[in-house]
Amino acid sequence: MEREVMSTAESLAKTRTYGKFRCHNPSCMERITVPPGATRVKCPHCGLEWRVYWISPDFPRIRGPVWDVNQKLAQEAVAKKAKRKEGK
Amino acid sequence: MALNRKIAYIDLSKGKIETRPIPLEVRKLYLGGRGLDAYLLYNHTEPNIDPLGPDNVLLVSAGILGATLASATSRTHIMAKSPLTGFLGSANMGGFFAPELRWAGFDHLVIKGRAERPVYLWIHNGEIEIRDASHLWGKSTTETQWAIRKELGDEDIKSAVIGVAGENLVRFANVMTGIKDAAGRTGMGAVMGSKNLKAIAVRGTMDIKIAHPVEALEYNKKFITQITSAKVSQTQGRLGTPFIWGATNPWGGVRTRNFQYNQHLYADDIEAERLDEIATETIGPYHMAGCFGCQVHCRAQYRIPSGPYAGVYDEGPEYTAQGAFGGEPECRSAITVLTGNHLSNQYGLDLLEAGSLISWAMELYEEGILTSKDTDGLDLRFGNDEALIEMIHRIANRKGWLGDALAEGGLRAAEKIGKDSIKYLIHVKGMSNLHSDERATPALALGIATASRGSDHLRSRPAIDLYHLPEEVLRKVYSNPISYSGPLSSDHREYLGKPWQVFWQETCYMGVDCLGICKYHTTFLGATLPNFEDWSRVLYLNTGLEMSPTDIWTVAERACNIERLYNIREGLTREHDWLVDRYFDEPCRRGAPDVIGAKIDREKFKKMIDEYYEHHGWDENGVPRPETLKRLGIDKEPSHLL
């Protein structure tokens, strides 16, 4: 039963990153690098804006959305979708 | 030996107790915990019995790795026919009970019959006594535990108990241990109450001999590194499971107003970080506690800072409490969530079910289906914190017409309420759904539709599907230990390939439930946490049992099929593996751009179920094929090996 090879879980752990989190927009999910100590960050890929909480000095996580900004963007996206449908 | 713990058969009607060893061949077939419980339930109950009658069997167990040198082997499993659903009843709790049970010499308890008066079991170093519990009847879950410790003069006794909800046969009552550890689904507390069994107290000092102790400790160090270095574990260790709320509410994955909406817009006071602030203010900076042998420490301690219960100590709340007393009823106050959590713990009530049913009643009230006459004057509108708290009291005590009706569970309550009330009930197989919204995630929707104990997120949820992991990563996870070359998609809105993920996760979760390991230590919330390959090694080093990752997979598959056989015997059909209409007909109204408008496609979902059945080796009706049963060696059940 002796084995030296890494298990799947261990090998995947090698890909872990710190100081970044993934955008919570499900159609984006890109990694965002957060400036140290920042309390808000805008996703450079999709534009949604997030409130930031720090688990430890090098480990940020998303606390929640900046509601006004994200709601506005969501409404715009939905309106665009609806317009496209009407056009069809 | 770690494998020499026994099984005890306890007949409360006759006051008879018998103990037996568990043969090695049975261990190899089911390992322990939930797997062996499923086998015992199938073998020790007759079809169509009354779940609250003496013929129902209550099974209490530890996993095969309980109290060994492996991490997080704290889990206690409880099984019986469910009084809520009429199908498989099964619940799992952390804490310290299961290791103590093993130190007391037992792995499995098979409890049947009904005591004439309230009793409790006292299990210590190989001995079992049935003792009078008349003086404990009516006490809360913690009062009962402290009273038993005092009575028996040992502060280290661990007890699994019921509260007032279990005594009152509330069909979703919990079995509890410690302050907040709850075997909290499918009404196992009601089964215990129906047997007049108030508590099971255990204390043991019988050593468990580890097969290869030095290597086991060494390997566990690696295990611990894997667990503590995972981001998800670190976040959990800081904020507990409420951190999930922070990840799901912003993008629109939380059901609110009984599933009318999918995002709580006024949730600032019930966010994980706010709850963490309260815990820090009332307890101090080191307010996170853990279960036996766990390095994650995801259980917060707190005192309620204000309101009628100001100063009261409790633990939690979990993600489920945020949804049950925040999201679903659209209440905004942390005090409400903390108080609801506290009352549920004290009454021994499944808070997920309670919060969901109260929110359902709130919608019925706003729709005019329930009137103030039905609520005894209570203004049961969404967002009414006081009404929510009052309803928790009423349900646990079966007080008032509505409290008594809801204590019967959703389906029975819908019959009593009548009109169109059933249309608004959010359930699968008669059990309420977690407050997460699965309309934008077909894989998660499939998981709750097909879960063996009714709507449930802990039976087969591929939670990592939300992380958009690259396909090669998914393939690495989901092609082990059984190879899989079919489709896999990083897009959680996709239907293709998802049934395999659900099937894989179901087998994985059954694996941990047989071993007695916490689900937060496997591929649930993090892709880098241990699973089959690691378990094979840990099992060997601790118990001496040589089982390959594939062997463990087969054990889990076998146990899943026994659960399926049990449900089919109790009347389950394909129609029960289905979701309520809102999933298909009403699109998400809030959230991120791609979540708005999302709903489940009926036809694609049917195909998903077909594919899921196929992976299991079941026919189009969800019945295991004869060749599947033969392959797993369960074609001649019940076999009465134990």
The DSSP line for B510-554 is HHHHHHT--GGGSTTT-TTS--HHHHHHHHHHHH-----HHHHHH
Cβ neighbours of A24 in B, within 8 Å = 247, 250-251, 592
Residue B240 CA to residue B272 CA, distance in Å, equals 8
Residue of B nearest to A70 (CA): B592
Interchain contact A84–B (C-beta under 8 A)? no
**Angstrom distances, CA of residue B386 to CA of B32, B325, B354, B389:** 44, 11, 15, 5
Count of other CB atoms within 10 angstroms of residue B373: 9
Residue in A with minimal Cα distance to B492: A26
- Quick one: DSSP state of residue B466? G
The predicted structure's pLDDT at residue B344: 98
Inter-residue contact B166 to B348 (CB < 8 Å): yes
CB within 8 Å: A24 and B247: yes
Q: Read off the tokens for A54.
A: 């720090």
Query: For residue A13, is pLDDT > 90?
Result: no
The candidate with the shortest Cα–Cα distance to B27, out of B525, B590, B547, B411, is B547
The answer to whether the CB atoms of A9 and B597 lie below 8 A apart is no
| Tally: H helices and E strands in chain B | 24, 17
Tell whether omega for the bond before B317 is within 30 degrees of 0, i.e. cis.
Answer: yes
Indicate if the pLDDT at residue A4 is higher than 70: no
Please state, in angstroms and rounded to a whole number, the distance separating the CA atoms of residues B128 and B119.
Answer: 13
State whether residue B524 sits within 8 Å of chain A by CB. no
**Closest Cα in chain A, distance from residue B292 (Å):** 23
Q: Which pLDDT belongs to residue B467?
A: 85
The correct answer on CATH 3.40.50.620 for the domain covering B6-203 is: no
The pLDDT of residue B607 is: 98
ipTM for the predicted complex: 0.74
Quote the pLDDT of residue B407.
Answer: 98
C-beta separation of B62 from B516 below 8 A: yes
Cβ pairs A/B, distance under 8 A: 110
CA pair distance B524, B464, nearest whole angstrom? 7
Rounded CA-CA distance B110/B12 in Å is 11
Q: Out of 2.60.120.10, 1.10.569.10, 3.20.20.70, 3.30.43.10, which CATH number does the structure's domain B232-432 have?
A: 1.10.569.10
What is the pLDDT, as a whole number, of residue B429? 98
Q: Indicate the domain borders of chain B.
A: 6-203, 232-432, 442-631
A3 falls in which pLDDT band (50, 70, 90)? low
Tell if the CB–CB gap between A16 and B528 is shorter than 8 Å: yes
pLDDT at A1 over 50: no
Contact state of A8 with B250 under an 8 Å Cβ cutoff:
no
Instruction: State which residues of chain B have pLDDT below 70.
Output: 1
Mean of the per-residue pLDDT values of chain A: 84
A48 CB near a chain B CB, below 8 Å? yes
Q: Is A27 helix (H, G, I), strand (E, B) or coil?
A: coil
Q: Does A31 touch chain B (CB under 8 A)?
A: no
pLDDT band at A88; cut points 50, 70, 90: low
- CB-CB: which of A53, A65, A74 is closest to B596? A74
Angle formed by the axes of helices B549-569 and B602-616, to 10°?
Answer: 120
Q: How far is A51 from chain B (nearest CA, A)?
A: 10
Whether B493 and chain A come into contact, CB under 8 Å, resolves to yes
- For the beta sheet containing B175-177, the strands, ordered from the edge strand earlier in sequence to the opposite edge, are B127-132, B119-124, B197-203, B158-161, B175-177, B181-183
Query: What is residue B251's predicted lDDT score, i.e. its pLDDT?
Result: 84
Length of chain B: 642
Looking at the domain that runs over B442-631, which CATH code has it been given?
1.10.599.10
